[in-house]
Copies of this chain bind each other. A is one copy, B any other.
Amino acid sequence: MLIVMQAHATEEQVRDVCERVEAMGLKAHPIPGSTRTAIGITGNTGAIDLGILESLPGVIECIPVSKPYKLVSRDVKEDDTVIRIPLPGPEGSGQEVLIGGTHVAVIGGPCAIESREQAFAIAERVAAAGVRLFRGGAYKPRTSPYSFQGLGEPGLEILAEVRERFGLGIVTEAVDHESLDLVEQYADVIQIGARNMQNFSLLRRAGRARKPILLKRGMSATLDEFLMAAEYILAEGNYNVILCERGVRTFSDFTRNTLDLSVVPAVKRRSHLPIIVDPSHGTGRRHKVLPLARAGVAVGADGLLVEVHHQPDRALSDGMQSILPDEFEQLMREVQQIAAVLGRNVN
């Protein structure tokens, strides 16, 4: 923490601030400048909220210096975390998908599971395109209470069949404690959606789950908030967290969200966790998915989460941003070539 004093702060005011800091059991380091004094504070373990010092006479501003996250930080673990997702198959086959390090993974499938036929038709196409992780929602958080909310557990049962039949790992969302209990039984990766990024009660439960967590960035989450949400999960003991950028909310009016690709190198600088990109929600329009998917891999993301639908004009949700299986095959070809430019492989 750094405290900046007003230019006309008196020596006594500076002394008062220092005494107050020392009374909190911390250490104050005054740094006299040409126009004003700043006071560095050390020894704070994070338990004390120093913001209050901003109200003391003569103080202009308190600037936090230490980052609040610990377990997610590269300070704690320098090497990239690689998440391993075992695939269904005969006991001991040892098939797995890797996310992180030099490994890029693509997850494809519909927004929502609508029926067995729909799920199978799409799973067949994404598997044929070389993908080994299948997405599809059984629980859908919807802005309107009157919109389709997902099939619930019957949707999870369809996903279990897809898993069995096509050998695909399953990624699906949990929206509360109850659904998480079920999703944990059926899925290979548990997704926490953007609207729940700061549902701390749900994050703690995810931290006690025995499956990797795919954590989506909230619509207006800062980088620190995003990493702190992951910290909640790690703090409970689950170290297998995959971050996901899915677009943030800005003034921009020609797109559903603004995909913030610069968060990828920013996360990589601060954290060892892998981060993937969702160009479907990130743009909200079918014609932007392929360009932004390419950009996501080019910027260095560890994977993609892509909505695919064989009949998008009949989709019960998000048809507008789902691409067709043929477009998805093109996407796979192009991102494989771009990953190779970066010395990475798509698996």
* Contacts from A to B (Cβ < 8 Å): 2, 4, 6-8, 20, 29, 31-36, 38, 40, 42-43, 45-47, 49, 51-56, 63, 65-66, 68-70, 73, 75, 78, 141-148, 175-178, 195-196, 198-202, 204, 219-220, 222-225, 228, 231-232, 235, 248-255, 258-266, 269, 282-283, 285-288, 291-292, 294-300, 312-313, 315-320, 334, 337-338, 341-342
**Chain B residue nearest to A296 in the complex (CB):** B295
Chain B residue at minimum C-beta to C-beta distance from A323: B55
Which of the residues B142, B225, B319 comes within 8 Å of A143, measured between beta carbons? B225
With both chains docked as a complex, state the minimum distance between the C-beta of A336 and any C-beta of chain B, in angstroms: 9
How many Å lie between the Cα of A235 and that of B4 in the bound state? 25
With contacts A35-B66, A144-B228, A196-B199 taken as known, whether A265 is within 8 angstroms of B287 at the C-beta atoms is yes
Assess whether B38 is in contact with A65, with CB atoms less than 8 Å apart. yes
CB distance from A312 to the nearest CB of B (A): 6
Chain B residues with Cβ below 8 Å from A54 are 285, 320
Contact A146–B177 (Cβ < 8 Å): no
Bound CA span A8–B75, Å: 7
Contacts of A2 in B (CB 8 A): 2, 38, 40, 63, 65
